[in-house]
Chain A
Amino acid sequence: MKIIIDTDELAKLQTEAETIVLKAEAQDTLIKILDLEKKIAEIKEVAKTKLLEEGKKKNPNFKSWEADLVRVSMRAYGAKYFVSDSEFALAPKELFSTEATVIAPNEDIETIKTSLEKAGYQVKVTKGKEGEKIAIKRAVNTKAVDKWVKEHRGMPTGIVEVKERPVSLNFAKIGEEDSENE
């Protein structure tokens, strides 16, 4: 793949952008900006692929590299732990939370809320579409589990670590990285 960026054209484009107006003539400038944005995204992807290759060449466990200005790092995303259904009863309850979406009678919100609270449930009111069945979502507190693992020198029963979390490679100026994604 060969990507060429004309820096003179870039400077001209900036001047045009500074004086842009909402008229048909502006389309050419806007198209050029969008094309450039796409080109830069392509270049970033090329660099990321090469950096990943280089990182793995350095060490199969590659997680990060840095010099004075830039940090290259691998980041796992998505949940780190999940609650095992088969061992649910044994899982320490303080390490995760459960949210359920229920189909309720066609009463006003306050009545439903009161009924659920009477039954011992904490009710979180949010605006959203109605579900068709009970949706139960468990959210494991990653930091609490990490602490538990350190203190007990092993995983808590009922909590399982996701074996292969999806990872992505990023590079950024040191001090300007996105916040951690876990």
Chain B
Amino acid sequence: MNNYKLRASYSYLSLWSSGRWEEAIKAYFKLDRFISRAMAEGSDYHDEWQNHCVKTKTLPAVFGGAKLNKPVCEDKKVIPVYDWLDLVIKADCIDSPIIHEFKTGILGSDDYVRTYQPAIYAVGCVLLKIPVERVQIHAYNQYAKTSTFSEVEVTESLLKKGLEYVESVGSEMHNYFVENGLYERYSQKEN
């Protein structure tokens, strides 16, 4: 009898729900870690923006430079949901009641709004009893040097959808891992 717990994060759930199971398994169990130039570049920008937010208590100038109150950046939270499920969130910046998410690349902020990421992060904050009202996506296109901004209101319906997504995709992943003995096989590499 196993008592393994799935540590579900948006990126794993997203890979799994879009049918990219092999990538999801490799990412979850840290079997194959490929970092592209774009990912490395994105990571550099994130480090710079995180430092800026904490140091100056303002958003980076490329995102409008608005004032922040008590920004908490890149703080990884592991939130127990069920005996078989933990939800892991690592928002770029939580300045309650606003979650700020920073993006790089050619997609606009509105492209990210249509994903489950805002809902999942909002669910995480609610479970942690962190007041949250809005999720703001700030996207910087480093090639065109332009930024876009989108906002999602956190409502009961959004939270319900987010939790349902975590539960349904998470249980699929967990059951697959259990049925195929993946926890046993790779548990030492799991995060």
Contacts and interface: CB of A to CB of B under 8 A. Distances in A.
B82 interface: no
A11 B39 CA distance: 58
A153 interface: yes
A158 to B, nearest CB: 16
A60 B60 CA distance: 13
Contact of B150 (A65, A150, A154): A65
A150 B157 CA distance: 35
B106 A149 contact: yes
A64 interface: yes
B151 A64 contact: yes
A38 B105 CA distance: 42
B143 interface: yes
A61 B109 CA distance: 10
Interface in B89-121: 105-106, 108-110, 113
A27 B113 CA distance: 47
A44 interface: no
Interface in A96-112: none
B131 interface: no
A3 to B, nearest CB: 27
B44 to A, nearest CB: 13
B37 to A, nearest CB: 7
Contacts of A154: 143
A61 B106 CA distance: 15
B153 interface: yes
Contacts of B64: 59-61
B17 to A, nearest CB: 19
Contacts of A155: 143
B148 interface: yes
A131 B105 CA distance: 42
A145 to B, nearest CB: 10
The main secondary structure of chain A at its interface with chain B is: mixed
Contacts of B35: none
Interface in A58-105: 58-68, 73
B63 A67 contact: no
A65 B113 CA distance: 9
28 contacts: A58-B149, A59-B63, A59-B66, A59-B149, A59-B151, A61-B64, A61-B138, A61-B146, A61-B147, A61-B148, A61-B149, A62-B149, A63-B108, A63-B148, A63-B149, A63-B150, A64-B113, A64-B150, A64-B151, A65-B150, A65-B153, A67-B155, A68-B155, A68-B157, A73-B110, A150-B38, A150-B106, A153-B143
**Shortest 8 CB-CB contacts between residues of A and residues of B:** A59-B149, A67-B153, A63-B148, A64-B110, A61-B149, A64-B150, A61-B147, A68-B157
Given A60-B64, A60-B149, A67-B152, 20 more contacts: A58-B149, A58-B151, A59-B136, A59-B138, A59-B149, A61-B147, A61-B149, A63-B109, A63-B110, A63-B149, A64-B113, A65-B151, A65-B153, A66-B151, A66-B152, A149-B106, A149-B143, A153-B37, A153-B38, A154-B143
